[in-house]
Amino acid sequence: MSKLYVIFLTLFLAYGCYDDKGNYDYKLLDELSISLPSKTYSLLFGEQLQITPTIETIIPETDLTYEWEFYGKDGDNYWSRYFPVYEGKDLDYTCLYNDTLLPGEGTYSLRLNVTQNSTGRHFYSETVSVKLDFQLSHIGALVLHGDGSSSDIGIIVADEFQIVKPESSVTSEIYPHFYSNANAGEKIDGRGQWIFQNCTKSSYNYPENIFVIAVTDKSSVLAHSKSLLNSGTWNDLFNGGLNQGKPENMVINSTALLAFDGGDVFHKGMSDVLFSVPLFAAADSDYDFDSRILNFPHHTWRDILRALAYDRSKRGFVAIIGSQGLNGFNKFMDLDATAGSGGMNVPFNPIDMKADLVHMDLGGLGDHVLAVMKDDEGEYFMVEMDISVKTAPETPKFKYDLMHVEDVKNDRVIDWAFGTSAMNMCYYATVDGIYRFSADNGNMIRPEPLMTAGNEKIRFKGSITMMKILKPDIFSGANNDTYYRSNTEMVVGTYGGTAGSGILYCLELDPLSGRVLSYQEYEGFDEIYDVCIKGY
């Protein structure tokens, strides 16, 4: 009986194994293979990575889900894993700069993960390499422009915008929509106000801390300097949310950077990633400084006036003093021309202007400042100050009436510009033209249309939207080169009212006469708001 039982059990197990083997053979037909056309890919940030895989399987397409995955860091944690970035069989993914997933130039791992929905089984492709690089750095002009509701950043590469004068002419290139093209078509919300790039003397030891900041009336964008890839906003420059989120201005002070936010002033060196505690807090002071600070980097440590500021609360001018200058921003001197003047007859009292500041810059004679003011009666005037003196009563030099100038009287002026240490380089702009005048020892101002050295009037197409003389406090390259056309290059933006009708005029000025030596036109922009030099 026991022998029959053993025989019966053996036959039963053999039959079961036969059935299992049959099922296993059937499941082999249910497998899936993935082939990718290449093992390596190379592209720039902002470009699209497109891959079409070859899939072999008898599993119905409706039972499959496709996800492409990059190998990346898991937030602030120390471990890494694959992260899904695109759903679909054929990859069409724009590789954008990302602090965690794609945090910079380098080679990244990518795979395709195919899931069988009915069973939950995963099939993975081989891992391929994706090499990502930032775009080559264009040295030129950054142009902030837009349609009134959104803004973009363009780049112009041309001789006049190189840091060092080219030995041979560079090929002119115009990229009106460089920022949006690098960011999958995304623009900056709002009407543009100002744009800035920080390149100090020590920037090239810390290239990762060089950035471009563009500010509009609704938002801001922090962009990678080489690629203009979106890296955040103005607030991301500050540690722990210590700022008010009200961007006003940025100033380079030799090897450091100052940020003006809601009346507060922040300071950081280029080795510092973020601004931290305010260097100057408006809430703790009697001063309310206008952000248009004039820095005097050419002065020596023996000079009393290190920088000039306008106090909106006192409505007067204040000197930043002390050996640290702007880096300290804690020692101030009211420019009271009546204090200890000894009866000196002064044309105005800088600390008590009884007017609002319209525009201020170095201009007139050497070491002089020109400031356009508007008083409570709506009348405009201009003052000239000497910032090389040792006492406050010596500061005021001349006061110029402006109300006899029809464009000023009728509020047609949209911009002012002054050339440093050049009495004939004084300009104002209306929507119809640019006009030049002289700050000549207090004599009556007599404007003339902007002309060439050959007495030909410069004519502009469209309505003028901005005017500026470029004199950036930037440094570029290993030799800390400064912009070779600083103080002699004027930019004028015009707009024809339709998309792409904006033109940037670039005019080389003669510092002695204030007239135009040569000029170029660059087309393809919308309404132009601001321009700055891109040194990196």
Chain centroid to CA 312: 27
Query: Each residue of 302-336: pLDDT tens digit?
Result: 467 889 999 999 999 999 988 777 888 889 999 99
Gap between the Cα atoms of 404 and 382, Å rounded: 12
Q: What is the pLDDT of residue 18?
A: 36
**pLDDT lower than 50: segments of the chain:** 1-29, 301-302
Nearest Cα residue to 239 out of 282, 279, 210, 277: 277
Q: What is the pLDDT of residue 24?
A: 35
Q: What is the pLDDT of residue 344?
A: 65
311-321 as b/e: b if 16+ CB within 10 A: bbebbbbbbbb
Q: What is the pLDDT of residue 280?
A: 95
DSSP states of 24-76 as a string? HHHHHTT-EEEE-S-SEEEEETTSEEEE--EEEESS-GGGEEEEEEEEEE-TT
Assigned CATH class of 140-534 = mainly beta
- Sketch the domain layout of the chain as residue ranges: 32-133, 140-534
What pTM was estimated for this model as a whole?
0.79
- The answer to whether 32-133 and 140-534 have equal CATH topology is no
Q: What is the pLDDT of residue 255?
A: 80
Q: What is the pLDDT of residue 226?
A: 86
Which are the contacts of 125, defined by CB distance < 8 A and separation ≥ 6? 34, 35, 36, 53, 111, 112, 113, 114
Q: What is the pLDDT of residue 298?
A: 58
Which of the 8 DSSP states describes residue 304? S
Architecture of domain 32-133: Sandwich (2.60)
Query: Each residue of 373-401: pLDDT tens digit?
Result: 999 999 999 999 999 888 888 899 999 99
